[in-house]
Amino acid sequence: MAKFEDKVDDNSPKVLCESSNQPVKEHS
């Protein structure tokens, strides 16, 4: 989880999951 937030933080902190492959709604 920390790795996602780290890389996405530069792009979109709100889509830390979508950036990978899964939608934020599914993770949340």
Q: What average pLDDT does this structure show over 8-17?
A: 55
Q: What average pLDDT does this structure show over 7-16?
A: 56
Tell me which residue has tokens 């950036």. Answer: 19
Q: What average pLDDT does this structure show over 8-24?
A: 56
Q: In the structure, what pLDDT confidence band is assigned to residue 3 with cuts at 50, 70 and 90?
A: low
Q: How far apart are CA 8 and CA 22, in angstroms?
A: 13
Mean pLDDT of the chain: 56
Q: In the structure, what pLDDT confidence band is assigned to residue 5 with cuts at 50, 70 and 90?
A: low
Q: How far apart are CA 28 and CA 25, in angstroms?
A: 5
Q: What average pLDDT does this structure show over 14-27?
A: 55
